[in-house]
Structure 1
């Protein structure tokens, strides 16, 4: 299962999904256009996570597996027997022989209805952006990292993990900067850029990604190297440039540890595979 997961990570991580088909009845389904962010494996369970927090979990039978087929390649099994088909650039990733398949959003306490109403939907042109700015400026925990707060649905809705990484880079903000350290102008810049991306009228919406999926590559702004790490309670992947995202570096939270970054020159999928393999060996 570890080898199957490693191949899937290489094929899927960082890819934008172009199609999704399933023979199962799911409560929610992944949206076309969303980016596949991570893949987790535990025993015979494989979980695929998209940048909006949606997860697809497949519990595999003994002979069940995920297969990768390039466009035009003959499948080793019939399409009728496929339970899930995920389309990405020039290939289909297909699930056969799963005992159970379910889709859900990763649980986040901040999204629970008993803990406050959801914030404004940034894609809606009628939304008052100053409302979102006020929510950032008056966030309940001023020591929370700005990277975490951007995904808090009580502040504003619509920002996925790809957007989060790109927005922080565009504003040159250190991801671990405390939200309470940001000025009104900085909060307005973040909110305005985010709204522009989600409404399709920002340069960020039409240009190539600057940091997301660019681990180990050269930053186009400062020629530094882009890194990837895991961040926050939800342990979401976060891409950023250590060299130029330095605003509020002096008031960061204590959560960032450089040893948690994936090593430069190593594909994030390979790093996860080796980490999981090491944990599996320790548990034996």
Structure 2
């Protein structure tokens, strides 16, 4: 499941393969791909913003701003639950069916398809600044310059929204998905169903700092995501995620799963360990 660390890892990989290189060809059924005249453009940079990936392409060399290709463009993809970018050498077999690729970028040495993204758009400078998703994102936990105080303020403004729902709202803080939501709240001993506004600013900031530490550790490791790395692979990667009906690794109470929010996302928790503690602490 793509979360913030997944997208930042993908951005690192694509940056090494694309930055400074020319797009020789682009396969995409969207009419906008042809309108933007993507072949011939040079990729300037690749970045992740929360769960969003942006491939920034320069204007076509020699094209005026009033001509097709005369403005820079960003290729925006949101991976949703199952999307992914791949990279292959020329002639190398693909791991997934070609019909699932919404867009394929070709350079002189690599072929880079994006499979089953939830969203794909081409954004010029104005569209990038006004985008319905990007313009409203909260601070990205993996951004070194992320303003955690701003994220705390956005979370507290949600008031009675349950904590487990609130920290997954990308407009408050970007990057946390279902896995980190469940694991982070377990490690902090917090009730996912308590109102987020009941927690003090200091408590929420500590929660976000812990989440950032978990994501940074997984991003740096290059291994499959885990929150129990110190206990070794044979003991399981997670504390509660996808462990409904199994004993808590700390107290042996059975882990439970309930769904939350408008998207009815699953939340895994220990009823005994996550009593919430003192919300003013």
TM-score of the two chains, using structure 1 as the length reference: 0.48
TM-score of the two chains, using structure 2 as the length reference: 0.48
Task: Indicate the structure (1 or 2) with the bigger Cα radius of gyration.
Answer: 2
